[in-house]
Structure formats: structure tokens, C-alpha cells
Structure 1
Amino acid sequence: MTTTTIVKCLVWDLDNTLWRGTVLEDTDVVLTDAVREVISTLDGRGILQAVASKNDHDLAWKHLERLGVAEYFVLPRIGWGPKSHSIREIAERLNFAPATIAFVDDQPAERAEVAFHLPEVRCYPAEQVTALPTLPEFSPPASTVDSRRRRLMYQAGFERDHARAAHSGPDDDFLRSLDLRMTITPAGHEEISRVEELTLRTSQMNATGVHYSDAALRALLADSGHEVLVVTMSDRFGPHGAVGIVLLAMEPPVWHLKLLATSCRVVSFGAGAVILNWLTDRAARAGVHLVADFRRTERNRLMEVAYRFAGFMESGCVCASVLEDPAGGVERLHLEPSPRPEPKTLKLIAAEGIPFTASAAR
């Protein structure tokens, strides 16, 4: 069965696509209620929206503000360059794979230009705009708190990046200035949809590439031998939301890390390394070994680096003999843990019931 790749960002053309009319030729342009509803609906589903338009930037942006929709577009690219260049910039800025980007334009030649240079980007004609929310690729399986505020989290992220660029001192000083906080808690039934969404949306920082369904995750919650942990972060600019999932089978003498996935948005904060160090410290204090599943994909090289940097290596340790044989393509990485120091750039908070030693930033 083929799984539909969910669109993470829809890039809009403006003239005769987002609105009726042409900025440089008409005295006014019109945004229909139907298109306004599409914008609002996709935003509520957590699908980001951007602009790639050949237009006068200031004039076009004034129309977006006048029509009351400027706030919905996270990365407007309004100018005179090829739209494929604009879309590539948007994908790179968001750190999204081209296959998760969609583009809508009234001009066949513009869609063809994008399709030629970015064949993985899905292109749609303007007359299909009002039908987009009914298509499976624009229909995430669940609406969560994080998805409904995803645009706001990305916009806060751009402010954060701007502050980072303006900072002239050491990077660690900047990270400390953010007042970063990470919370690791057992997932509850109300949080499972957020966890499932994270496994669906994360490819670069997903250790196995496995996407766990809502039903599978709920079954694990009822299994006393497993922990499903959700990781959230926040800082002075606002919440990052749910940024990580840890799926752990706990059967001494070994804890089996079946899945670690973190959002690409927190890679620069070293979130994966912090989670692994916390888990390693916890395992050391419990007197167990750690075995982590890892399956190489085209996009998760960063996750392999995080595992190696944390000390996970191939090993013939007999502790793994208590585990079931791995699925095809899955490697087993081993670590005999030792206590780890507290993180220096963020505050870690553990939920009740999870032994936790790292509690404050230095």
C-alpha cells in the first residue's frame, strides 16, 4: 500500500491565483471568501504557506496586508527571479524535502519551470485551489495543538534565528541567553496524536524511518514493558512544541531504544544529543546497557552522527541476545553507559515517575 506524503508547505503564486487580478495592471485585486477559507483551513492543519510571485515586492505585500492574510505566509519570495529558485530557497530555509512542498500557479509555463527544476515538488493549477483541502496530501491524519500553532512556532523561530545572527559572542552564550527548557514526560492518551504526527513529519532526525500509527502507540502505552516519552521545548521567544519522541523497551539487563525522532527545528540546539545523554545517564544509574535501533535512510545521516557522538557503536555484547531479531535493514548499536554531566545550555525538567538527575543549566 502506498503512503501519501503529506504536504508540509504550500507555495502560492499571487496574481490570478491567490487573488483575482494583477497587481501591476489592475487598480485593485480581490481575495474571494473561498480562497480565504482555504488559507485558514490549511493553516489550522499545520501546513505552512509561503509565496513565490513575480511582482513588485512592496506593492504586492501591501495588498496582502490590506486583505488581512499577510500573517499567514512565513517566507514570501516576491521578485523577478525564477520561481523554482524561490521554492528551492523556501524548502532549504524550512529544511523540508522537496517532496513535501506544493506549488499552485495559474500559468502552465511557471508550473512547468518548477517541475523541470524541482520534479519532486507537486504543482497544481489555480482552478484547483478550492479543492486542495479535500486532497489526501493536504489532509494530515490528526489536528493537534502543535499543528494548529505551527506557523507561529516557525515565525518565532525566524525571530530566534535573527537574534542568533545579530549575536556577536560565543554560540554557547547565545544559547544560554535563550533560557532554553526541555521537558521529557510520559506520553498520555491525549498526546498520542502529537507523537504520531512527529513520526510522520520527521525524516532527517528519525533513527529508523519507522512511522508508528496511533493504534500502535496506544497499544504500547498499555504495555508496562515500554515507555513512550514525548519531548517538548520552549525559550524566551515562545514554545517549540513537541520536538521529540523516545520509544523505549525496558527489560534488564538491557534497555532497547526502538525509536528516537526529533524535529529538524531543534537540530541546532543539539536536542538529540541532550536526549541521548539524559537517557545514557538514566541507564547508567539503573545499571543496564543500551541498545539502539538504527536504519540508514537517504536523509537521516545527522541522527547517525548523534548516536556515534553519544558513544553508540556496533558490538557483540551478549545483552542483545535477549532482544528479538531486528527487522531487515535495522542495525543494532550498543552502549555500556556511564553517568553524564548536566547540560550547559538548557534546563531539563523530568516528569514525575522518571528518575532524572540533570535539573538546571550552568
Structure 2
Amino acid sequence: MKPKLGRIKCVVWDLDNTVWDGILLEDGDVKLRDEVAEEIRRLDELGVLHSVASRNDRDAAMAKLREFGLADYFLYPQINWNAKSGSIEQIAKSINIGLDAIAFVDDQPFEREEVSHVLPAVLTVDALGDLPTILRQDEFRPKFVTDESRIRREMYQAAAQRDQIEQEYSGTSEEFLATLDMKFTISRAQEADLQRAEELTVRTNQLNSTGRTYSYEELDALRTSPDHLLLVASLTDRYGSYGKIGLALVERGKPAWHLRMMLMSCRVMSRGVGTVLLNHIMGLAKADGAKLRAEFVETGRNRMMYVTYAFAGFTEVERDGSHLVFESDLATIQPPPAYLVVETD
């Protein structure tokens, strides 16, 4: 089977005899593997994330990574004495990605086999192999490198900062969200948005109404079609930008508009903005004197989108296997939350 282009979203690295030559707690003076550092920086530029799963002393290992200038590249590093499979599961949970989007690099066959046995979806890589060649294979090569790809790590780091502040916040969740000064922007897709739009259809699973992917060329044709409306949504707050985090495709008509696709990045699941784009589309359809129908395809991972439609007042009107159609008469449209400013073009 041909490898799926760009399926790896995060590379998890062992440290001893992987990122550096030698065993830190035995040798002390370990030597950075320059080809590894180069690959970490190169993949980071492409938007591929990095983390660590290492059996080591955390303080000593992090100090060495800082000395080598690499500490900031690793999100949610798991440096402990636990099984590597457990560390990888924690990383996937923290980043909110599937295990099939992770590659694990380790020099020890036992560690790779343990991970393969417990987490068969994870791609394991021999750290002593030809890493520059292996890490340039299709699984590690995204189709597009967008502006957001280059700052993806920084966006996750900002998210971690928000999460930490939220954990320390003593008020309610809604009170915390009100402190973020969030602005949600909805606009018609422009040509400059299309690479990120295609990337969203490929990368988004849990908050994707149909699971369908669209190519750049398909999205460009729909963007310019008089019968369709292609919308993109962005989110910012006091800590920075979340980037373009939402996409919707509507086919306009009478007596009903048809919402062919709607998706939201998992990065904003906890920000209470999941229905803002849907409610905006509902308002547009109502203003046009139409009902709104919405397609939904059960993928096994997008149950949250089913719930989103149900809470928005949609009812199921058609079902053919895993393909459903919801409909709303638009009698009730929820306003955006009070802690959010919504801007539209």
C-alpha cells in the first residue's frame, strides 16, 4: 500500500543514542547527532511537531536539550521511567492527534517492538538507520507548507500556556474564557486561503461533518462557483492566533441551502466556539428565506459533529447507511457566546 502523504503530524524521539550519542546518566558528556538536529529543524519548518519519550532523569535531560538548543522544539516531553507506549499515548492525548499520526524514533529494538505491540498504529523508526532518507519519505512530507505550518509549534506552545493558566484559574470555565479577549472571524475564502483549506480537510477528523477531503483545485472551483459559498474561520485571543481553524461549504438553493461540509480544528474544542460558524450559516440561509440541510457522514471519529447538529436544533430527515441528512427550519438560532467577538465580511 502506498504511504499516505503527510500522515505523520508528530515525531516522538528517544534521547540516548538517538538524539545524541551516548547515555546521559552514564557518560555525562554526550554528543549531539548533528543530522538529527538538522532533521528536527527541517521538519519543524514543514509544520511537523516533535516530542520526546525517553527513560531518563527529566531535569538532566531537559538541561542537555537546552544546552543543545533543542528544548523548545519538543512539545509535552515525556521523560520518565515508564513504558514508551504509555508516554506516546500521553503525547497523543496532549496534542490531540491520533496515534496513526505519530512516528517513534528509538535505537533499541525492544523499545520499538514494545510500542508496535501496544500501539500498532504508531510508525516506528530505527534511530540508527538512514534518518535523512527515512524522514523524507511521503509519510513525513505534507503536500503544502503554509504560513501556519511554519508557526504550528508556536501555536501549540501558546495553547499549552493557555491550558496552564486555565488550570490555575479559580473561576468558572465561562469566566476564564471571558478573560481571553477572543475574536472569531468568518470570511469568504480567498485564493490565498486554499492551501490551508485543503490542509484542514486532510488533518481534521473529530470535528469534520463528512470526513471528505477536498483538493486545492476542487476548493478553487467551489470558491468561484456562483452556487456555492466557501467560508473560512479564524480565531485570535490575547495570547496570539489560533490560525484558520474552520471551513464550511454551502450550496445555495431553494427551498433549502445544503451544508455540504463543515469542520473545525480540534485546537479549539475547549474554547466554546464550535457552533459559531454553523450559527452564522443558519442566519445567512434564514435571511435568504431558505431552510438549511446539513450532510453528515459517520466516520467513527466525528461523533462530536453529530452532537453539534443536534444541539443546534437540527433533526435527522434522511439516512442511508453512514450517510445522514439533517434539517433545520431555522426557527431558533443561538447567538454567539458573550465572551466572544464575531466579525464577518
With the length of structure 1 as denominator, give the TM-score of the two structures.
0.91
Please give the alpha-carbon distance, in whole angstroms, between the structure 2 residues aligned to 1:75 and 1:295.
33
Who is 1:113 aligned against? Answer: 114
Distance change >3 Å, CA 286–CA 340, structure 1 → 2: farther
Say yes or no: does 1:57 pair with 2:58: yes
Deviation sequence 1:253-304 (CA, Å, 0-9, x none): 2111000011111111232212112222222222211010100111100111
Aligned to 1:330: 323
Contact 1:144 1:194 survives alignment (8 Å): yes
Letter in 1 for 2:4: T
Confirm or deny: 8 A CA contact 2:276 2:336 kept in the other structure: no
Which residue in 1 is equivalent to 2:48?
Answer: 47
Q: Distance in 2 between matches of 1:73 and 1:300?
A: 28
Tell me, yes or no, if the aligned pair for 1:104 and 1:129 is still in contact at 8 Å.
no
SS at match of 1:184: strand
Cα distance, 1:3–1:220 mapped onto 2, change above 3 Å? farther
CA contact (8 A) 1:10 1:49 kept: yes
Q: Which whole-Å deviations, capped at 9, do the CAs of 1:204-255 have from their partners, x for residues lacking one? A: 0110010101111111122111111111101111100011101111123211
> After TM superposition, where is structure 1 displaced by more than 6 Å over at least 4 residues in a row?
none
Residue 4 of structure 1: aligned partner: 4
Alignment check: 8 A CA contact 2:312 2:334 kept: no
1:193 aligns with one of 192, 195, 218: 195
User: Corresponding residue for 1:22?
Assistant: 23
CA distance in structure 1 between the partners assigned to 2:302 and 2:336 by the alignment: 26
**Contact in 1 for aligned 2:185/2:234 (Cα 8 Å):** yes
Give the aligned residue type for 1:65. Answer: R
Residues 322-342 of structure 1: CA deviation (Å, up to 9, x unaligned): xxxx99742111011134434
Do the aligned partners of 2:24 and 2:61 also contact (CA within 8 Å) in 1? yes
Alignment of 1:22-171 (within 5 A): 22-126=23-127, 127-171=129-173
Could you tell which deviates more after superposition, 4-13 or 298-307?
4-13
Amino acid paired to 1:249: E
Q: Report the residue type matching 2:29 in the other structure.
A: D
Give distance in 2, aligned partners of 1:209 and 1:110.
34
1:319 is matched with which residue?
none
Unaligned runs of 5+ residues in structure 2 are: none
For 2:300 and 2:249, the matched residues in 1 are separated by 22
Structure 2 residue corresponding to 1:240, chosen from 242, 256, 260:
242
DSSP-derived class of the 2:124 partner: strand
The correspondence for 1:282, drawn from 281, 284, 302, is: 284
Report how many residues are paired.
342
> Between the two proteins, what is the percent identity of the paired residues?
43
Q: Is residue 105–residue 125 contact of structure 1 (8 Å, CA) maintained in 2?
A: yes
CA contact (8 A) 1:186 1:228 kept: yes
Which of 333, 343, 354 pairs up with 2:337?
343
Distance 2:18 2:175 in 1: 45
Residue in structure 2 matched with residue 357 of structure 1 by the alignment: none
Is the 8 Å Cα contact of residues 293 and 330 (structure 1) preserved in structure 2?
yes
Opposite residue 246 of structure 2, the aligned amino acid is G
* Residue identity matched to 1:131: T
Unaligned runs of 5+ in 1: 317-325, 352-362
Local SS of the residue matching 1:194: helix
